[in-house]
Chains A and B, each alone.
Chain A
Amino acid sequence: MPRKPIENADERIIEATFKIGGNSPRGSLSTKDIAVEAGLSEFTIFSRFKTKENLINVCNAITYDVFLKSNIKASENHKDDRRAFFDEVLDELIANAEMTKFAGNYSLAFPRQDSVQAYAVFFDSFYEKWRPMFAYFPLESDEQKFRVITYGVREIVQDALYIVSGEIKDIPENRNLMYDLFYGGMRKFVTIV
């Protein structure tokens, strides 16, 4: 008798990976735990995603699509209000706490020793995907724009991580400080038009 297809298996696996990966420092992610969380077998995970690395890459790609969309939306919504832009992106990252924590642990945007090839693949894809954001940065070269975007993404994800981990309280005074650091670092180079 043919096997009954599992409903939404990919979605369940990805959701479980965000949840488990968001709480497992790099190196300790277990597909066994993901399988339990998703209510599936490890066999199903490997039959669909082949390797754990591939599953992590898929989750990273989803994460950056979500982050990119929220950055573009916030840039469009608040062309003349940097603070509102910052708050909207930060709110979105906090609302997606598991995904944000996953990015903190597994994204190669936060340098950790890995193969040069892995970084090359990651940054090539990051560069191409985030190209639409270049329009908001009146800098001389695309390389500089890319450096500032990478810096900005890391900083705002880090701020969200402070809040979701409970290290920093989400109160207006702390947001002001985070904002001062976030935009202070970019102010010299960047004007969001």
Chain B
Amino acid sequence: MTELEECLILSTIKEGAENPSNKRFSTKEIARCCRISEYTLFSLFKTKERLVTAANDYIMNEIIEASKKAATASSNVQEYVRKMLFFGFSKPMEMTFLANYGFWNGKTEKDPERISRDYEKAVLAAKEAFHFLKDYDEVVYFLVWSYITRNINYFVETVYDGIIRDSIEYRDFCASLLNAGSSILVEGGVK
């Protein structure tokens, strides 16, 4: 990825986080942030949709990396989940972008090819992120990956939306809620 591509993706995340999907964001503003023309932006990413997909992939990779680190540094699932939750809270822009345009969001895709592509992408991400899962069927990887990413996003976004005040008690509650679900599918805990 070139510096310019990364600049455009980071600006998309910022724009997307600041502009809910019912208001839409401006490619003009994204281009302006990177000091290029919209023409150059579209010559690199072709469509706005591709830019959003690239931003989602960028965040997905950050989550994968965070998951790998969290798994290595944890001795059990509860600890792993807690670390992932703290990672979510450390990424306000990314989490808000996901809340607006996230890869797991708005399951109304009608195109079967795209449904299958998104599914495969999630399975691949999960296989990379969850070294501690055994050789389960793909559907297990898909469900656990979606479960963890969307719930961390919900828990974090609920705070950013001003619905719940952040506190140690709240984070512990969220971690426990998540942990008890995903631990069922993890034999022997995080390795």
Contact = CB atoms under 8 A, between A and B. Distances in A.
A27 B180 contact: no
B17 A22 contact: no
B72 interface: no
Interface residues of B, number: 48
A156 to B, nearest CB: 12
Contacts of B184: 180-181, 184
Contacts of B107: 101, 104, 158, 161-162, 165, 167
B14 to A, nearest CB: 13
A120 B110 CA distance: 32
Contacts of B153: 111
Interface in A95-149: 101, 104-105, 110-114, 116, 119-120, 123, 144, 147-148
Contacts of B75: none
Q: Which of B23, B107, B150 has the most CB of A within 10 A?
A: B107
Contacts of A151: 151, 154, 177
Interface string B37-75: 000000000000000000000000000000000000000
A166 B115 contact: yes
Interface in B88-106: 96, 99-100, 105-106
A25 B177 contact: no
A104 B143 contact: no
A43 interface: no
Interface string B127-159: 000000000000110111011001101100110
A158 to B, nearest CB: 7
Contact of B157 (A101, A111, A165, A178): A111
Contacts of B188: none
B1 interface: no
Contacts of A84: none
B24 interface: yes
Contacts, number: 125
Contacts of A155: 147
Contact of A167 (B18, B106, B119, B173): B119
Contacts of A177: 139-140, 143, 185
Contacts of A23: 108, 110
Contacts of B157: 111-113
Category for how many chain A residues contact B: 35 or more
Contacts of B182: 181, 184-185
Interface string B11-31: 000000111111110000000
B109 interface: yes
A178 B161 contact: no
Nearest to A157: B107
B185 A180 contact: yes
A147 B108 contact: no
A148 B23 contact: no
Given A111-B153, A111-B154, A116-B161, 8 more contacts: A24-B108, A105-B106, A112-B105, A165-B108, A168-B139, A181-B181, A188-B176, A189-B180
Interface of B: 17-24, 96, 99-100, 105-110, 112, 115, 118-119, 139-140, 142-144, 146-147, 150-151, 153-154, 157-158, 161-164, 173, 176-178, 180-185
The 5 closest A-B pairs by CB, nearest first: A185-B181, A111-B157, A184-B184, A184-B181, A27-B21
17 contacts: A105-B106, A110-B154, A111-B154, A111-B157, A112-B105, A113-B19, A119-B161, A120-B162, A120-B163, A165-B108, A165-B115, A166-B115, A177-B185, A184-B182, A184-B183, A185-B177, A185-B178
